[in-house]
């Protein structure tokens, strides 16, 4: 992909947060997005129209990360139809709302499990000893995995009424900043400069040492590659099967490319989180073409 093919015009500025935006993420089909930040809120947006749909409030401190259940493609449409019927064609599929959930984490050392529609906190998972940096649902949205400053990963059962973790991985030597999941693996990016893969089925741990603190990781759609954002302002692409460093991407002028990395169909999306609003480019933020 050439530089000429990059989007150059700002499509929308999503204003509403009263503090720095720390994370932004899309739902599965990219039609809606969620943001969270230092104002202790999570906000749901239609970024195409620049419309704020709903605010989720319950955190007592900054919200560092948010993730939506994989089944929420239709749920987002349902919510938009209910709250803003004048701008949305009403979706006929109902019943999905019963399984519409978010998870979030932040400075209050807890993982919050939300009902998307009502904005109610279903459960709070407690156990981390310091700030929680990242959260992810598994494929079936039955388990949430969280990564914390306390050098641990913790897994939580969303179907149980227990607030205790069902698994703790605490073999790290520094803070765990980011987490990705496959059907049988947990991947973590850490400040100790490694990307670690834990195979839950066979109890195996693999470690790839990048030599630089890792701030954020994201997996390609085919799950063959991992993209790691490091604190030396460099993005590194790894082959998961061999650990080989496939490519390094430089160009960030700031010390830390501390954004959300989404790998889709050979494209890399980077959202830097140092403003009080979220910017989206049209059609997409295509920074890298593999």
Question: pLDDT tens-digit profile of 49-90?
Answer: 889 999 999 999 999 999 988 654 454 555 555 555 544 433
Collapse the DSSP code of 184 into the 3-class scheme (helix H, G, I; strand E, B; otherwise coil) and give the result.
coil
DSSP 8-state assignment for residue 17: -
Contact criterion met (CB below 8 Å) for 195 and 169 = no
172 has a pLDDT exceeding 60: yes
Q: What is the mean pLDDT of the chain?
A: 79
Residue 85: phi and psi, rounded to 5, are -60, -25
> For position 88, what pLDDT does the model report?
42
Model confidence band, residue 163 (pLDDT cutoffs 50, 70, 90): confident
264-to-80, 93, 221, 277 alpha-carbon distances in Å? 25, 27, 6, 24
Residue 71: count of CB within 10 angstroms of its CB: 16
> For position 253, what pLDDT does the model report?
63
Query: With the C-alpha atoms ordered 169, 180, 15, 271, is the resulting torsion angle positive or negative?
Result: positive
Task: State mean pLDDT over 164-168.
Answer: 94
> For position 80, what pLDDT does the model report?
52
Measured CA to CA, the distance from residue 233 to residue 111 in angstroms comes to 29
Contact criterion met (CB below 8 Å) for 14 and 49 = no
Element (DSSP H or E) covering residue 75: helix 73-83
Measured CA to CA, the distance from residue 118 to residue 75 in angstroms comes to 12
Task: State mean pLDDT over 184-204.
Answer: 94
Measured CA to CA, the distance from residue 20 to residue 176 in angstroms comes to 22
The reported pTM is 0.78
* Tens-digit pLDDT profile for residues 216-244: 998 887 888 899 989 888 889 899 999 99
210 has a pLDDT exceeding 50: yes
Measured CA to CA, the distance from residue 175 to residue 100 in angstroms comes to 30
Q: Between 100 and 280, name the one with better pLDDT.
A: 100
Q: Between 79 and 141, name the one with better pLDDT.
A: 141
**51-57 and 185-190 beta bridge pairing:** unpaired
Q: How far apart are the first and last CA of the chain?
A: 8
> For position 274, what pLDDT does the model report?
45
């Amino acid at each position: 992909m050439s530089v000429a093919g990059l989007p150059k015009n700002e499509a929308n500025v999503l204003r509403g947060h009263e503090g720095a935006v720390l994370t932004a993420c899309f739902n599965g089909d990219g039609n809606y997005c969620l943001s969270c930040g230092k104002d202790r809120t999570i906000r749901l947006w239609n970024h195409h129209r620049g419309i704020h749909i709903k605010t989720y409030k319950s955190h007592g401190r900054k919200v560092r990360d948010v993730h939506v259940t994989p089944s929420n493609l239709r749920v987002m449409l349902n919510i938009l139809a209910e709250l803003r019927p004048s701008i949305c064609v009403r979706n006929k599929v109902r019943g999905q709302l019963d399984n519409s959930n978010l998870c979030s984490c932040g400075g209050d050392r807890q993982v919050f499990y939300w009902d998307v529609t009502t904005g109610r906190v279903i459960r709070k998972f407690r156990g981390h000893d310091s700030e929680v940096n990242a959260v992810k649902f598994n494929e079936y949205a039955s388990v949430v995995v969280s990564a914390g400053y306390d050098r641990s990963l913790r897994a939580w059962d969303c179907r149980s009424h227990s607030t205790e973790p069902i698994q703790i991985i605490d073999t790290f030597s520094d803070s765990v900043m980011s987490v990705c999941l496959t059907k049988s693996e947990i991947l973590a990016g850490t400040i100790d400069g490694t990307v670690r893969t834990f195979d839950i089925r066979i109890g195996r741990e693999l470690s790839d040492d990048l030599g630089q603190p890792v701030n954020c990781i994201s997996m390609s759609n085919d799950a063959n590659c991992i993209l790691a954002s490091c604190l030396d302002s460099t993005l590194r692409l790894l082959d998961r099967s061999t650990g080989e460093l496939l490519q390094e991407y430089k160009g960030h002028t700031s010390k830390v490319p501390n954004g959300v990395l989404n790998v889709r169909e050979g494209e890399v999306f980077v959202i830097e989180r140092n403003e009080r609003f979220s910017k989206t480019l049209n059609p997409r933020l295509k920074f890298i073409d593999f």
